[in-house]
């Protein structure tokens, strides 16, 4: 019997779903035991390897998430907010680790994960890469060292398919900057400028979102003062960095107590 951790991928046909499947198939610590897509999707009933244009791998795509989860130790979920909330309940029922990469969740939607976290491990992060999570910590430090003479702006760029803004990563960076400054992001957040906006308010943390082409994900944290600027930058050029982080989180979740965790916990940063 294999001692590899059995993993289910939800949103199997998506950009991240397919990258996650490749990463799990190549892993020497994890094995693919299930793939889930929404009911009615063309891929349901097909072997995932064949659906992705390659050789059969012996895993059939299903729309029965609970059945798939019950054969696994972890679920990796990069889908959409409503799907993620539904999956959290099923993962809790099956007592499997739920790794959530889905972004664009409202505060209310995030709160709906709480009951599930009483029964299962949830690892959720708007960005699963090592580089971004390190940038989060750096942003906190730089924001703590500077005063409000430095305006903070988070600038992000993504592909034209992305549906949420600011990105989950931008919000993580904004939260880190706010924490460094000892304020609540909700009190100083400035996003979606358009028209006669008035001058920038001292202490505000601004967000700028660019959408275009096939940009994987780029994030700058700009600290701008009179006479000088500091820019902290992360550039993702390959979605594999997110998938590797997610698999790491799924393995890390084994043996942890039920509760909500993030990638800072997983990476020990």
Ligand X SMILES: O=C(O)C1=N[C@H](C(=O)O)C[C@H](O)C1
Ligand Y SMILES: NC(=O)C1=CN([C@@H]2O[C@H](COP(=O)(O)OP(=O)(O)OC[C@H]3O[C@@H](n4cnc5c(N)ncnc54)[C@H](O)[C@@H]3O)[C@@H](O)[C@H]2O)C=CC1
In the Cβ-directed half-sphere of 260, how many Cα atoms lie within 13 Å? 12
Q: Is 103 a binder of ligand X (CB under 6 A)?
A: yes
Active-site residue, from 140, 162, 219, 248: 162
Binding residues for ligand X, rule CB under 6 A, total 9
Assess contact for 236 and 216: CB atoms under 8 A: yes
User: Which range of residues in 82-90, 91-99, 162-170, 245-253 is near ligand X by CB under 6 A?
Assistant: 162-170
Binds 17: which of ligand X, ligand Y, none (CB < 5-8 Å by kind)? ligand Y
Q: Is 169 annotated as a binding residue?
A: yes
Nearer to ligand Y, 41 or 119 (CB): 41
Is there a binding annotation on residue 13? Answer: yes
Cα→Cα distances 98→74, 93, 130, 192, Å: 6, 11, 19, 32
Does the annotation flag 16 for ligand binding?
Answer: yes
- Note if 158 is an active site residue: yes
Helix pair angle (240-252, 130-145), 10° resolution:
90
Token pair listed for 220: 């700058």
Closest separation in Å from C-beta 100 to ligand X: 12
Residue 123's DSSP bridge partners are 99, 261
**And the tokens for 138?**
């750096």
By the rule CB under 6 A, 168 interacts with ligand X: yes
Q: How far is the CB of 84 from ligand X (least distance, A)?
A: 13
| Contact status: 127 vs ligand X (CB under 6 A) | yes
Give burial (CB, 10 Å; 0-12/13-18/19+) of 107.
exposed
158 contacts which partner out of ligand Y, ligand X, none, CB within 5 to 8 A by kind? ligand X
- Cβ–Cβ < 8 Å for 47, 41: no
161 in catalytic set: no
Q: Is 131 annotated as a binding residue?
A: no
Residue 217 sits in the site that holds ligand X (CB under 6 A): yes
Q: Which of 140, 167, 180, 207 binds ligand X (CB under 6 A)?
A: 167
Of the candidates 86, 49, 80, 95, the one whose C-alpha atom is nearest the C-alpha of residue 64 is 86
Chain mean position to CA 166: 13
Closest by Cα among 204, 94, 212, 90 to 153: 204
Q: What are phi and psi of 184, to 5 degrees?
A: -95, 135
Picked from ligand Y, ligand X, none, the partner binding residue 175 (CB below 5 to 8 A depending on kind) is none
Task: Confirm whether residue 133 is marked as ligand binding.
Answer: no
Which residue from 209, 212, 211, 188 is spatially nearest to 200, judged by alpha carbons? 188
- Binding flag, residue 79, ligand X (CB under 6 A): no
Choosing from 158, 219, 234, 248, the catalytic residue is 158
Is 180 marked as binding a ligand?
Answer: no
Contacting positions for ligand X (CB under 6 A): 103, 126-127, 158, 162, 167-169, 217
Annotated binding residues for NAD(+), as ranges?
A: 11-16, 101-103, 125-128
Q: Which residues are known catalytic residues?
A: 158, 162
**Residue numbers belonging to the annotated binding site for (S)-2,3,4,5-tetrahydrodipicolinate:** 159, 168-169
Residues marked as binding? 11-16, 101-103, 125-128, 159, 168-169
């Amino acid at each position: 019997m294999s001692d590899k951790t059995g993993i289910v991928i939800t949103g199997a046909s998506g950009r991240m779903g397919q990258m996650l499947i490749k990463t799990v198939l190549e892993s020497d610590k994890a094995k693919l035991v299930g793939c889930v897509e929404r009911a009615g999707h063309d891929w349901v009933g097909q072997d995932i390897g064949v659906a992705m244009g390659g050789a059969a791998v012996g895993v059939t795509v299903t729309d029965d998430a609970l059945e798939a989860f019950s054969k696994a130790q972890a679920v990796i979920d990069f889908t959409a907010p409503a799907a993620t909330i539904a999956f959290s309940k099923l993962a809790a029922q099956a007592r499997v680790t739920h790794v959530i990469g889905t972004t664009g969740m409202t505060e209310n939607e995030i709160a709906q994960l709480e009951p599930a976290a009483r029964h299962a491990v949830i690892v959720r992060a708007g960005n699963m890469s090592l580089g971004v999570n390190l940038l989060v910590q750096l942003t906190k430090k730089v924001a703590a060292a500077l005063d409000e003479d430095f305006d903070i702006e988070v600038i992000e760029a993504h592909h034209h398919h992305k549906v949420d803004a600011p990105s989950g990563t931008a919000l993580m960076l904004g939260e880190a900057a706010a924490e460094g400054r000892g304020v609540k992001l909700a009190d100083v957040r400035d996003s979606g400028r358009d028209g006669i906006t008035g001058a920038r308010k001292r202490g505000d943390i601004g967000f700028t979102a660019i959408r275009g082409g096939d940009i994987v994900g780029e994030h700058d944290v700009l600290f701008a003062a009179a006479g000088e600027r500091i820019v902290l930058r992360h550039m993702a050029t390959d979605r594999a960095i997110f998938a590797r982080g997610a698999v790491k989180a799924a393995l890390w979740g084994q043996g942890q107590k039920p509760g909500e965790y993030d990638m800072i916990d997983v990476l020990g940063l």
